[in-house]
Amino acid sequence: MKVDVKSLDTFNQLAHEGAQEATRSLCEMTGIDAAVDVTKISLIDRADIGEELGASQFVGVQFGFEGALCGETVLIFEEAQTTEIVEALIPGASDDESMAQSAVQEIGNIMMSGFIDGWAEHLGATIDHTPPGYIEGDSEAILPDDPDVGAHDQVFVFRSEIEWEGESVTFFIYMLPEYEPMAELLGEYAEGDGEAIPIEKLAVFNQMTRQGTEKAAANVQQMTGIETESEVSQISFVPIEDVPRQFGEEMYVGTVVEFTGAPSGFLIVLFDEQSAVTVAEALMPVEMDSDELTDQHKMAIEELGNIMTSGFVDGWANVLQQAVEHTPPRVVHDMGQSILSPLAAQLGQEQHHAFVIDSKMKTDEVEFQSEIHALPNDQELRAALEALDVDRADQTEADTIF
Amino acid sequence: MKVYDGSQAEDTQETDPERIKVGIAEYEVTADGAELTTSGLGSCVGVALYDEANAVAGLIHVMLPEAEDMDGEKPAKFADSGTELLVEEMEQLGARSRQMQAKIAGGSDMLDFSEGGASIGDRNVKEVRETLSEYGIPIVGEDVGGDHGRSLRLEAQNGDLVVKSANRENQRL
């Protein structure tokens, strides 16, 4: 089964339009002024889905769908935000728990019919869905049980984030299709020329990323004594302008390199400010006077970014059996979106969409979390995957099952 | 693209203008004094246009210099086609290009790995300048270049553009 940029783009747009349709219904019904922020299609380890939800309690609705696509979809938001949302729909209802629940369900109903109808219309096929049911739960536990993925380790997920303008309310839509029908549909929409990528190679690529992150995490541990674990590894496909968008205004400290070889692109290591201070101090022989981020902290981050980058690209080079070289790291301390925008723009001169490779590492011992992101040139990535010998994935020492 | 023409004004409090977010490769125009904001500009450029006489304002967040090589793309993504689009959309709300004034910010050189030649940030700014000059729209305030990110707030009631940068004082253009 093969996918290509066209089929990925088609489905990304479809999910985005579905989310927009759902949002339009919501706005009409409630007067809430909301807009879809980002939609992405990702291939991700089953266990890692919903990692971005953090530790909050969520409520929402869930429904199953079957036909051209089978699986589950949920629409959720933080429980703490229920009052604002329910009040917008039925003033006074938020005090009454059962009224509040039916208001949430009603919002779900409104949004979900818009979402699924958009898909069915575009695919020219029938998609039936069950009535949405009310759900509540802790962070990622609220998401549906794994869809039927057969023997595959990784699943496709469509995720949309919808922001309520002027309020700190974010809605999330997750659509988890069963693997085989989704892969088949992606295959049908591929143009079938030389640009197609076998889906299982994308999965191998994810394994490479995980291996790279583990190496980077081992390097951090060796240098700082902080025991870290690599957490998430996923490959997503988004329009190029959505690459910076998902980072927002939050401040980060980190390093960026350009790597060359097959593929070429950018590798970004990011720490939130608190993590940067924590990890930099672990590297320093003497305690710093200030908790603020200083130039000394940044120098330590530069060193660490360099060693993490090397660890990460070594993982790739092993599997690709070729050297991956990179420029010296440039230290950066700025808003996430500002850091990513020039990198996306440099790739955007030649491509409309980008594969984004995301991984995270963290530890429970201290306040520490780090992200590694790679932005490869998409044509070169396709060529590299084409040349990739799936058997060599063993070199990553990861458990790969197809 | 949403257009705010004042028809929803009853819902908002008089003292607190509506705030509308503009994403990358997006624009918004307003004729009812809303605050238009955009965040996380790196090499991207924010173009703010204001026609005081007709009380119309608009803000766009462009990412790349020229639309010519990219077919079937969003015009708002590019400095040239995006600026043109913003002018036209404001004219739809009653503004006139010869009464418009521009303020621009962004176009940072940060993390530019291109070898030789101008950075994308510089090229974005240059393209915006050229397009504005074709319309005869003067640039009355700017904060461009450098190696840091910026976030913007256009106060459509008075045309002020507030530029926020990490680790720097806010600027009011």
**Fold of the domain built from segment(s) A198-396:** Chemotaxis protein chec (3.40.1550)
Q: Pick the residue from chain A with its C-alpha nearest to B109.
A: A342
Per the CB < 8 A criterion, the answer to whether A139 and A67 are in contact is no
Looking at residue A390, its pLDDT comes to 63
pLDDT at A402: 31
A62 is written with which tokens?
């869930």
Reduced to 3 states (helix: H, G, I; strand: E, B; else coil), residue B85 is helix
In this predicted structure, the answer to whether residue A168 has a pLDDT above a threshold of 80 is no
- Report the relative pairing of strands B19-21 and B35-41 from DSSP bridges: parallel
The pLDDT > 70 percentage for chain B reads 89
- A266/B24 Cβ within 8 A: no
For residue A40, the cross-strand partners are A159
Confidence (pLDDT) at B7: 44
Q: How many CB pairs below 8 Å do chains A and B form together? A: 104
The answer to whether residues A39 and A15 touch, using CB atoms and an 8 Å cutoff, is: yes
CA A120 from centre of chain:
25
What confidence score (pLDDT) does residue B116 get? 72
Secondary element (H or E) of residue A239: strand A229-239
**In angstroms, rounded to a whole number, what is the distance separating the alpha carbons of residues A360 and A49?**
13
ipTM above threshold 0.85: yes
Choose the CATH number for A2-189 among 3.40.1550.10, 3.90.600.10, 3.40.50.300, 3.30.70.260: 3.40.1550.10
Chain B environment of A248 (Cβ under 8 Å): 39-40
Per the model's pLDDT, the better-predicted residue between A232 and A354 turns out to be A354
pLDDT for B61 equals 96
Residues with Cβ within 8 Å of residue A180, at least 6 apart in sequence: A148, A150
Q: With a cut of 50, say whether residue A20 has pLDDT above it.
A: yes
Q: By a Cβ cutoff of 8 Å, what residues of chain A touch chain B?
A: 31, 35, 37, 163, 165-166, 240-242, 244-245, 247-249, 251, 256, 258, 266, 327, 330, 332-346, 348-349, 352
- Rounded Cα distance, A323 and A328, in Å: 16
pLDDT of residue B2: 44
Which has the higher per-residue pLDDT, A269 or A32?
A: A269
- pLDDT higher than 60, residue B14: no
Highest mean pLDDT among A91-95, A178-182, B41-45: B41-45
Q: What pLDDT is recorded for position A205?
A: 78
Q: Which amino acid is at B64?
A: L
CB contact set of B114 (below 8 Å; sequence gap of 6+): A346, B120
Check: CB of residue B68 under 8 Å from CB of residue A368: no
Q: Distance (Å) from the C-alpha of residue B96 to the closest C-alpha of chain A?
A: 29
Of B58, B36, B60, B56, nearest in space to B46 by CA: B60
Mean pLDDT of chain A: 80
Which of the four pLDDT bands, split at 50, 70 and 90, describes residue B10? very low
- pLDDT on residue A294: 84
> Greater confidence, B82 or A79?
B82
Q: Which of B102, B101, B103 is nearest to B142 (CA)?
A: B103
Nearest residue, CB atoms, A244 vs list B18, B40, B150:
B40
Q: Does A233 have pLDDT greater than 80?
A: no
What pLDDT digit, counting tens, does each position of A275-307 carry? 888 888 877 766 666 667 888 888 888 988 888
Q: What is the pLDDT of residues A98-154, one digit of tens each?
A: 888 888 888 888 777 777 777 777 777 777 888 888 888 888 888 887 666 666 667
CB nearest to B24's CB, from A245, A330, A352: A245
Q: Which 50-89 residues of chain B touch chain A by CB within 8 A? A: 63-64, 70, 73-74, 77
Residue A400's pLDDT is 33
Cα gap A35→A132, rounded to integer Å = 22
Give tens-digit pLDDT for A249-275. Answer: 889 999 999 988 778 899 999 999 888
Task: Name the band, by pLDDT with cuts 50, 70 and 90, for residue A162.
Answer: confident
pLDDT tens sequence across A55-69: 888 988 888 888 877
Q: Which of A105-109, A163-167, A345-349, B92-96 has the lowest mean pLDDT?
A: A163-167
Q: For position A126, what pLDDT does the model report?
A: 77
B149 with A335: Cβ contact below 8 A: yes
Is residue A86 scored above 60 in pLDDT?
yes
Average pLDDT over chain B, rounded to whole? 88
Location of each CATH 3.40.1550.10 domain in chain A? 2-189, 198-396
pLDDT band (50, 70, 90) for residue A401 = very low
pLDDT tens readout for residues A238-249: 888 889 988 888
Q: Is B39's pLDDT higher than 80?
A: yes
Q: Does B151 touch chain A (CB under 8 A)?
A: yes
Q: What is the pLDDT of residue A252?
A: 94
Whether the CB-CB separation of B27 and B86 falls below 8 Å is answered with: yes
- Which of B24, B61, B70 is most worth mutating to test chain A (most A CB atoms within 10 A of its CB)? B24
Under an 8 A CB cutoff, do B149 and A352 touch?
no
- What mean pLDDT do residues B29-44 have? 93
Distance from the Cα of B103 to chain A's closest Cα (Å) equals: 19
Backbone angles phi and psi of B30, in degrees to 5: -145, 145
- Chain A residues with beta carbon closer than 8 angstroms to that of B113: 258, 266, 327, 346
Lowest mean pLDDT among A138-147, A387-396, B163-172: A387-396
Residue A51 confidence (pLDDT) above 50: yes
Q: What is the pLDDT of residue A292?
A: 76
Per the DSSP assignment, residues forming a β-bridge with A118 are none
Angle at A11 between CA A172 and CA A35, to 5 degrees: 35
Name the pLDDT band for A398 (thresholds 50, 70, 90). very low
Phi, psi of A359 (to 5 degrees): -145, 160
Is the Cβ of B13 closer than 8 Å to some Cβ of chain A? no
- For an interface test with B, the pick among A241, A253, A350 (most B C-beta atoms closer than 10 Å) comes out as A241
Q: Kind of pairing, strands B3-4 and B27-30?
A: parallel
Find, in chain B, the residue whose alpha carbon is nearest to that of A348. Answer: B64
Closest A-chain CA to B43:
A342
Is residue A399's pLDDT more than 50? Answer: no
Residue-range domains of chain B with CATH: 3-172 (3.30.1330.200)
Q: How many Cβ atoms sit within 10 Å of the Cβ of residue A194?
A: 9
% of chain A beyond a pLDDT of 70: 91
Cβ distance B107 to B144 under 8 Å? yes
- pLDDT tens readout for residues B101-153: 999 999 999 998 877 778 999 999 999 999 999 999 999 999 999 999 999 99
Minimum Cα–Cα distance from B17: chain A residue: A166
Rounded to a whole number of angstroms, the distance from the CA of B112 to the nearest CA of chain A is 7
Considering CB atoms only, which of A244, A266, A334 is closest to B148? A334
Q: What are phi and psi of A142, to 5 degrees?
A: -75, -20
Q: What does the pLDDT read at residue B150?
A: 95
For residue A397, what pLDDT is reported?
44
A-chain residues near B32 (CB < 8 A): none
